[in-house]
Amino acid sequence: MGNDRVFRIIAKNNSPGNKYIQSATLNGEDWTKPWFAHDEIKNGGTLMLIMGDKANKEWGSDPQDAPPSEDKFN
Protein backbone atom coordinates (compact mmCIF):
# COMPACT_ATOMS: atom_id res chain seq x y z
CA MET A 1 0.00 0.00 0.00
CA GLY A 2 2.98 2.27 0.45
CA ASN A 3 4.15 4.28 3.44
CA ASP A 4 4.67 1.04 5.42
CA ARG A 5 0.95 0.27 5.22
CA VAL A 6 -0.10 -3.30 4.54
CA PHE A 7 -3.41 -4.74 3.40
CA ARG A 8 -3.70 -8.43 4.24
CA ILE A 9 -6.22 -10.91 2.92
CA ILE A 10 -6.58 -14.02 5.07
CA ALA A 11 -8.74 -16.90 3.87
CA LYS A 12 -9.41 -19.29 6.76
CA ASN A 13 -10.23 -22.89 5.84
CA ASN A 14 -9.27 -22.21 2.23
CA SER A 15 -8.60 -25.31 0.13
CA PRO A 16 -9.50 -26.59 -3.34
CA GLY A 17 -12.78 -27.86 -1.84
CA ASN A 18 -13.45 -24.79 0.32
CA LYS A 19 -13.61 -22.10 -2.32
CA TYR A 20 -16.75 -20.23 -1.28
CA ILE A 21 -16.91 -17.24 1.06
CA GLN A 22 -19.10 -17.97 4.07
CA SER A 23 -18.53 -14.68 5.89
CA ALA A 24 -16.03 -11.86 6.07
CA THR A 25 -14.68 -9.14 8.31
CA LEU A 26 -12.80 -6.00 7.33
CA ASN A 27 -10.58 -4.70 10.12
CA GLY A 28 -12.54 -6.77 12.64
CA GLU A 29 -15.99 -5.53 11.57
CA ASP A 30 -18.55 -7.74 9.85
CA TRP A 31 -18.30 -7.24 6.10
CA THR A 32 -21.27 -8.25 3.94
CA LYS A 33 -20.37 -6.54 0.67
CA PRO A 34 -18.56 -8.50 -2.06
CA TRP A 35 -16.53 -5.36 -2.86
CA PHE A 36 -14.84 -2.44 -1.11
CA ALA A 37 -13.80 1.07 -2.08
CA HIS A 38 -10.23 2.30 -2.14
CA ASP A 39 -10.97 4.66 0.77
CA GLU A 40 -11.85 1.66 2.94
CA ILE A 41 -8.44 0.02 2.47
CA LYS A 42 -6.06 2.84 1.56
CA ASN A 43 -4.58 2.91 5.07
CA GLY A 44 -4.07 -0.85 5.15
CA GLY A 45 -5.90 -3.39 7.23
CA THR A 46 -7.06 -6.97 7.14
CA LEU A 47 -9.80 -8.66 5.16
CA MET A 48 -10.62 -11.99 6.82
CA LEU A 49 -12.58 -14.46 4.71
CA ILE A 50 -14.10 -17.61 6.17
CA MET A 51 -14.26 -20.20 3.42
CA GLY A 52 -16.46 -23.27 2.99
CA ASP A 53 -17.36 -26.00 0.54
CA LYS A 54 -20.81 -24.69 -0.40
CA ALA A 55 -21.82 -21.26 -1.63
CA ASN A 56 -23.40 -19.09 1.06
CA LYS A 57 -26.09 -17.55 -1.11
CA GLU A 58 -26.96 -15.07 1.65
CA TRP A 59 -23.49 -13.48 1.87
CA GLY A 60 -23.22 -10.40 -0.33
CA SER A 61 -26.73 -10.85 -1.75
CA ASP A 62 -28.57 -7.98 -0.04
CA PRO A 63 -29.37 -5.25 -2.57
CA GLN A 64 -27.84 -2.65 -0.23
CA ASP A 65 -24.51 -4.52 -0.50
CA ALA A 66 -24.35 -4.16 -4.29
CA PRO A 67 -21.55 -1.99 -5.65
CA PRO A 68 -22.47 1.56 -6.57
CA SER A 69 -23.61 1.99 -10.13
CA GLU A 70 -21.39 3.77 -12.60
CA ASP A 71 -23.91 6.65 -12.61
CA LYS A 72 -22.87 7.58 -9.06
CA PHE A 73 -19.34 8.31 -10.30
CA ASN A 74 -20.33 10.60 -13.18
Domain that holds residue 42: 1-55
Query: What are the two backbone dihedrals, phi and then psi, of residue 73, each rounded to the nearest 5 degrees?
Result: -95, -10
pTM listed for this prediction: 0.84
Please state, in angstroms and rounded to a whole number, the distance separating the CA atoms of residues 60 and 57: 8
pLDDT 10s digits, 11-62: 999 999 999 999 999 999 999 999 989 899 999 999 999 999 999 999 999 9
Number of structural domains (the chain) is 1
| Domain-located, residue 72 | no
Q: How confident is the model at residue 4 (pLDDT cuts 50, 70, 90)?
A: confident
